[in-house]
Chain A
């Protein structure tokens, strides 16, 4: 069964008198364990799609099934719960809470989890997640004391806290240099391979999209192509070949 199933999704914004059609009937099925790269120029509607897939926004019309459940007509509170349980976000600007330690940032989703955990348990899990992205010794650092790559790894650790069904990454490499970008993509690829996590990555760079297992191209609010990526790039191999750059750690 598809993790994400979207049918005839439209989204229309009203900017003053003008109606902006961000999505004009999008249908998409994403299976468990896929690494889907959504590409397209800015304004093509790919970000709008991600917001709807991430339950941050509701479609104007159409249907959206997440894990088989219709989430297109849920209340605000129900959407919050879906975001908490089933969706992990990774943003271009990292979106970590400023003046808050990496550990506390990672703990955040647990704070809003209905199954209340003890503070020590939250801490333990957050520490585990940080260790998984190699930042155990940076737990008490605040975001401004971390490099871009480290911040994005904290964000990834946070996104994975509640073991979501899908990981939504919106231009995750946009603020990173090329080596760090590949490192982040490596994390995505290994998450997919080791844990079978479904990843939807949104980018305007075709080169980044090439790390996905499937590439969906957007233009003017419509899908223009949707093909399996037969020549998927492997981040780990490329990292091995790259000259050892100064690690930002």
Chain B
């Protein structure tokens, strides 16, 4: 160990003498290490991206759904009363994770929520949708208790950021001979403000004016647009929904490549019309749900409580009677009590109302696929460039050994041991690869930041990742430098001295 420092000095000095050669040799390692670092940064960035998205989706969102499926006729007495007063009503949540078919720990989260009214044997304390609206309307109003007036009242609560009324149904959209069966959302103009990942490929969302006039305008999800119009711009075209003409005003697509639009999803394989239009066409006055975002995520509990109180008052619900609506909000604490990981719990929070379900489902799937592809690609680029870089180092070192045989002889003559020579050349190779590695780390940091900003992906680079990249560079140097160094150390002193 005694000669490590001198060996390092000698090595660095040797490298400084041939700057161009040194730089060229290092490039391979630099690219390799930069790739490794970028790979790690993007990989761990993917994880925090999920968390960010989940947080963005779920943390400040409150969803009020019509009906209250938890309180059943069997739940009699004080229990009902107790629950009737508890808000937010996180008790509904178990329906999500209770799903017995769940294969993995995460899978139940992405299962469609089991609708309690789907169970014909279940008894309810309220008229079910089919009782109230008739079978045709069953899909629309599960329990029609929410009104636009409720939404307006909620808008007045301080701390409420956006409120969007929602009516949901399925519908055929037709353009010429082409038809597409999709999800129809009757929504409020503020929906794009709640859906943060939206971009408009063409056109715009419907306007406040169109909403108040219950205009027959429609915003197509990118999948629907693609199915009906292909690559064409559908803005200005007339499509027909419920045999009524609707003017296409915009096409909405995912602004984040993490959330890829897919057929069958709830956001982009869907169409959006003003809720007022649906109400007019279907002669409805009720809403399925009201989605609320709060200005600050810390106020979710307070506002949930206020909404509950407000709606109870508005619906004239007696003190002892249960709610006729469900307020769902960030239920992380309640979920965490069930032994779930915080991030899983958060996903569930985003999952509750079904509104964010698709986002998360897509996010999970897309992210998984994308990051696996990306990692595989980067890993192979890294492996190839590290291999090529390593061979480059080996080549330059073998050349160096030959060129400097005389030097080896001189060093041996003044007392260098074979191991000193080995160490010197090994150090040189390592210094070469490590210097290249450091440059690679710098480039990797820069590149990951650029990529991060470009695709809005939070890249996270840990000290461990940097240390690992550095270690890889050093390993490459040792691995590919060992053979030339051993060759150097094996030259007999006298042969080295005589070498011309």
A residues adjacent to B (C-beta < 8 A)? 51, 54, 56-57, 76-77, 80-81, 83-85, 89, 91, 95-100, 108-109, 111-114, 116, 158, 161-162
A95 lies within 8 A of B497 (CB): yes
The listed residue (B410, B419, B494) touching A51 by CB distance below 8 A is B494
Q: How far is the CA of A123 from the CA of B410 in the complex (A)?
A: 19
Contact A158 B414 (CB under 8 A): yes
Task: Evaluate whether A108 and B494 lie within 8 angstroms (CB atoms) in the complex, with A76-B418, A116-B2 already known.
Answer: no
- Say if the beta carbon of B376 comes within 8 Å of chain A: no
Main secondary structure, interface of B, reads: helix
Query: Are A111's CB and B497's CB within 8 A?
Result: no
Contact with A along B391-418 (1 / 0, CB 8 A): 0000000000000001101111111111
Which chain A residues lie closer than 8 Å to B497 at the CB level?
56, 91, 95
Cβ–Cβ < 8 Å partners of B413 in chain A: 54, 56, 83, 89, 95
Contact status A80-B412, CB under 8 Å: yes
Q: How many Å lie between the Cα of A99 and that of B494 in the bound state?
A: 22
Closest to B415 in A: A84
Residue from the list B6, B13, B409, B417 in contact with A80, Cβ < 8 A: B417
Compute how far the CA of A76 lies from the CA of B3 in the bound complex, rounded to whole angstroms: 18
Q: Give the distance in Å from the alpha carbon of A127 to the alpha carbon of B159 in the complex.
A: 79
B417 touches A77 (CB 8 A): yes
In the complex, the answer to whether A112 meets B493 with C-beta atoms within 8 Å is no
Once the chains are docked, how many angstroms separate the CA of A158 from the CA of B415? 12
Task: Select one of A56, A99, A112 contacting B3, CB under 8 A.
Answer: A112
Q: Judging by beta carbons under 8 Å apart, are B410 and A95 in contact?
A: yes
Known: A56-B413, A57-B494. 8 other contacts (CB 8 A): A80-B418, A84-B414, A84-B415, A91-B497, A95-B497, A111-B3, A111-B416, A112-B417
Judge whether B420 is part of the interface by a CB distance below 8 angstroms: yes
Residues A113 and B410 in contact, CB atoms below 8 Å apart:
no
Instruction: Choose from B13, B411, B494 the contact partner of A112 (Cβ within 8 Å).
Output: B411
22 inter-chain pairs at a CB distance below 8 angstroms, sorted by A residue, are A76-B417, A77-B419, A80-B416, A83-B412, A83-B413, A83-B415, A84-B415, A95-B406, A95-B497, A97-B407, A97-B410, A98-B407, A109-B414, A111-B10, A111-B416, A112-B3, A112-B417, A112-B420, A114-B2, A158-B414, A161-B414, A162-B415
Near A by CB (< 8 A), chain B positions 358-393 give none
The complex places the Cα of A83 from the Cα of B412 at a distance, in Å, of 8
Q: Chain B residues with Cβ under 8 A from A98's Cβ?
A: 407
The answer to whether A112 and B414 touch across the interface, beta carbons within 8 angstroms, is yes
Please give, as numbers and ranges, the residues of chain B lying within 8 Å of A100 by CB-CB distance.
Answer: 13
CA distance A89 to B413 in the complex (A): 7
One digit per residue, 1 when the CB lies within 8 angstroms of any chain A CB and 0 when it does not, for chain B 5-25 equals 010001001000100000000
Of the four ranges (under 10, 10 to 19, 20 to 34, 35 or more), the interface on chain B belongs to 20 to 34
Q: Nearest CB to that of B409 among chain A residues? A: A95
Q: Does A112 contact B415, Cβ atoms closer than 8 Å?
A: yes
Neighbouring B residues of A51 by C-beta, 8 Å: 494
The answer to whether B415 and A81 touch across the interface, beta carbons within 8 angstroms, is yes
Q: Residues of B contacting A91 with CB < 8 Å?
A: 497
For the complex formed, measure the closest distance between the CB of A175 and the CB atoms of chain B, giving whole angstroms.
Answer: 15
Specify which chain A residues have a CB less than 8 angstroms from the CB of B419 in the assembled complex: 77
Across the interface, do A108 and B411 meet the contact criterion of CB distance under 8 Å?
yes
Q: How far is the CA of A81 from the CA of B414 in the complex (A)?
A: 9
List residues 31-47 of chain B with CB under 8 A from any CB of chain A.
Answer: none
The docked-state distance in angstroms from the alpha carbon of A99 to that of B492 is 24
Question: Across the interface, which residues of A come within 8 angstroms of B411, CB to CB?
Answer: 108, 112
Q: Cα distance A56–B497 when bound, in Å?
A: 9
> Would B415 and A113 count as touching, CB distance under 8 A?
yes
How far is it, in angstroms, between the C-alpha of A98 and the C-alpha of B406 when the chains are bound? 10
Of all A-B residue pairs in the complex, the 10 with the closest CB atoms, nearest first, are A84-B415, A112-B415, A80-B417, A109-B414, A56-B494, A57-B494, A112-B416, A111-B6, A56-B493, A83-B415
CA gap between A80 and B410 in the complex, in Å = 12
Instruction: Report the Cα distance A57→B17, complex, angstroms.
Output: 32
- Residues in A with CB closer than 8 Å to B407 are 97-98
Specify which chain B residues have a CB less than 8 angstroms from the CB of A56 in the assembled complex: 412-413, 493-494, 497
Contacts of A83 in B (CB 8 A): 412-415, 493
- Chain A nearest CB: distance from B151 CB in Å? 79
Given contacts A56-B493, A116-B2, contact A99 B17 (CB under 8 A): yes
Q: Which residues of B contact A85 (CB under 8 A)?
A: 415
Q: A84–B410 Cα gap in the complex (Å)?
A: 12
Residue in chain B with minimal CB distance to A104: B13
Q: Considering the chains assembled together, what is the distance between the CA atoms of A242 and B477 in angstroms? A: 57
For the complex, give the distance between the alpha carbons of A110 and B13 in Å. Answer: 17
**A49 CB, nearest partner CB in chain B, Å:** 13
The distance from the CB of A20 to the nearest CB of chain B, in whole angstroms, is 15
Q: In the complex, which residues of chain A have a beta carbon less than 8 angstroms from the beta carbon of B409?
A: 95
CA distance A122 to B478 in the complex (A): 29
Note all chain A residues with C-beta closer than 8 A to B17: 99
Chain B residues within an 8 Å CB radius of A89:
413-414
